[in-house]
């Protein structure tokens, strides 16, 4: 059975400022990168960009295999705790993005893990590429 790791990140140059999310979808068995997704947001906060990277990565994983379990790794403690249901979501934009993420993963096994920033460099690079391009890709 296929299992995915989704590493997701987001960034904002200014807060708010030019923002994008990035995600890398990885085959959990082989470590092979299956896809990279950049989500250009425009002007937004860093937290909205983080959620946008998550949503982009989850969408791509579902495209690749609609039922595969997903393990999400992010350096945003806020997003990990909110998506895990341990922290409330007060910001309306983040609430909408969290709802969208939950809809994508409904009925699927998904776990969330906070990782230190230095272990999330691949997703960070994809988010920065999307900010540089000022465009979405993947």
Q: How far apart are CA 74 and CA 55, in angstroms?
A: 12
Angle at 130 between CA 6 and CA 108, to 5 degrees: 25
CATH number at residue 72: 3.30.420.10
Chain centre distance of CA 30: 21
Domain that holds residue 96: 4-133
Residue 69 lies in a domain: yes
Domain total for the chain? 1
pLDDT tens by residue, 24-36: 999 999 999 999 9
Residue 138 lies in a domain: no
Q: At residue 124, does pLDDT exceed 90?
A: yes
Residue 82 lies in a domain: yes
User: Which whole-number Å values give the CA distances from 89 to 7, 24, 34, 92, in the listed order?
Assistant: 21, 25, 31, 8
Give percent of the chain above pLDDT 70: 100
| pTM for the predicted model, two decimal places | 0.96
């Amino acid at each position: 059975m296929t299992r995915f790791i989704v590493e997701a990140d987001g960034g904002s140059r200014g807060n708010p400022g030019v923002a994008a999310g990035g995600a890398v979808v990885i085959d959990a068995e082989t470590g092979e990168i299956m896809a990279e997704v950049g989500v250009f947001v425009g002007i937004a906060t860093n937290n909205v960009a983080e959620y946008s990277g998550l949503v982009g990565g989850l969408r791509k994983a579902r495209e690749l295999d609609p039922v595969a379990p997903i393990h999400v790794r992010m350096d945003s403690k806020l997003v990990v705790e909110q998506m895990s249901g341990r922290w409330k979501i007060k910001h309306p934009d983040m609430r909408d993005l969290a709802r969208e993420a939950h809809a994508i993963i409904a009925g699927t096994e998904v776990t969330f893990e906070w990782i230190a920033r230095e272990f999330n460099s691949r997703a960070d690079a994809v988010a920065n590429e999307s900010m540089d391009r000022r465009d979405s890709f993947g």
